[in-house]
C-alpha cells in the first residue's frame, strides 16, 4: 500500500508541475494579448486560462507534422 501511495504522490506531483509550467508559458501570451489587442482592435482582455487555451490551440494549428522524430524520410 505504501508503494501505491508513493506512485500516486509522484504522479500527482508531476501533473501539478506540468500544469504550473503550462501556466507559466501562457503568461507572455496573456500579457501581450491584454496589452495589444484591446488597444489595436477594441476587443476584451482575456484571462490566464483563456491564454493557455489560445496557446494550446495555436500549437495544434501551427505545429508542423514533419517535426515529429518518428516520421523521418
Note whether residue 28 is domain-resident: yes
Note whether residue 8 is domain-resident: no
- 46 touches 54 (CB < 8 A): yes
Note whether residue 36 is domain-resident: yes
Note whether residue 64 is domain-resident: no
Q: Residue 43 — pLDDT band, cuts 50, 70, 90?
A: very high
Note whether residue 46 is domain-resident: yes
Q: What are phi and psi of 57, to 5 degrees?
A: -60, -45
Residue ranges making up the domain that contains 44: 23-56
Q: How many domains does the structure of the chain reveal?
A: 1
- 29 touches 51 (CB < 8 A): yes
Lowest mean pLDDT among 25-29, 36-40, 56-60, 66-70: 66-70
Amino acid at each position: 500500500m505504501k508503494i501505491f501511495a508513493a506512485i500516486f504522490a509522484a504522479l500527482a506531483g508531476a501533473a501539478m508541475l506540468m500544469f504550473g509550467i503550462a501556466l507559466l508559458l501562457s503568461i507572455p501570451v496573456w500579457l501581450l494579448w491584454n496589452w495589444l489587442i484591446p488597444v489595436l482592435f477594441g476587443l476584451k482582455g482575456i484571462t490566464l486560462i483563456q491564454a493557455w487555451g489560445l496557446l494550446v490551440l495555436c500549437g495544434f494549428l501551427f505545429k508542423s507534422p514533419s517535426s515529429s522524430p518518428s516520421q523521418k524520410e
